[in-house]
Homo-oligomer: A and B are copies of this chain.
Amino acid sequence: MRYTAEQKEEARHKLLHASGRHAKAHGFAASGVDALAGAAGLTIGSLYKHFASKNDLFTALMAAEIDQTASRYASVDAQDTAAAVKALASYLSLAHVKAPERGCALPSLAVEVARAPEEVRQVFETSLLALKDSLQRLAGSEQAAWTLMAQSVGAVMLARAMATETHQRDLLQAVRVSGQDLIHASRAQ
């Protein structure tokens, strides 16, 4: 055959990665299928050979994105408090706010998962629980992990919606301090 299984896998991977970037920046529903495929240098017809529907692409894309975020925090040394604080500061940075296409998918796309069919939400939930476990290693308790996740995701999303950088900084800074308190409190015990 002209195309090997490896080449197909590679094309699928590139499709997931590139359409993920595009969706995080412009929204998934708001992105046309042609734009999603075009981001990977492909065309509509080709995309539909890899995914049965736009929703099918969304499911795979979301899982890949959240897993990527989870593995990022899984690689942080849980013993190293300074490393945990640094990872938090990176998430709650102005750079993250300004570059959604390179950042975490949750502030950009979680709301679209909420409106997606049960199947999508089921796959998403599995990935999200894995991310929570990664955070729990750094945050100490499950409660701290959920709180850290919710406030970080909320802060980045709200900061992106604001118009002026000064206020974005204020919000990020406030949540950063609260998050640090949370991390330190769990380690003081």
Residue numbers of A with Cβ under 8 A of B are 26-27, 29-30, 100, 106-108, 110-115, 118, 121-122, 124-125, 128-129, 142-147, 149-155, 157-158, 160-164, 167, 170-171, 174-175, 177-178, 182
Contacts and interface: CB of A to CB of B under 8 A. Distances in A.
B106 A158 contact: yes
A145 B128 CA distance: 26
B146 A175 contact: yes
Instruction: List the 8 closest A-B pairs by CB distance, nearest first.
Output: A154-B154, A151-B151, A114-B160, A146-B174, A150-B154, A113-B161, A121-B163, A150-B155
Tallying the copies of this chain within the complex gives 2
Chain A contact residues: helix, strand, loop or mixed? helix
With a 10 A CB-CB cut-off, give which of A153, A177, A182 has the most chain B CB atoms: A153
Contacts of A129: 167
A112 B174 CA distance: 23
A68 B175 CA distance: 24
Given A146-B155, A174-B142, A121 B161 contact: yes
Contacts of A118: 163
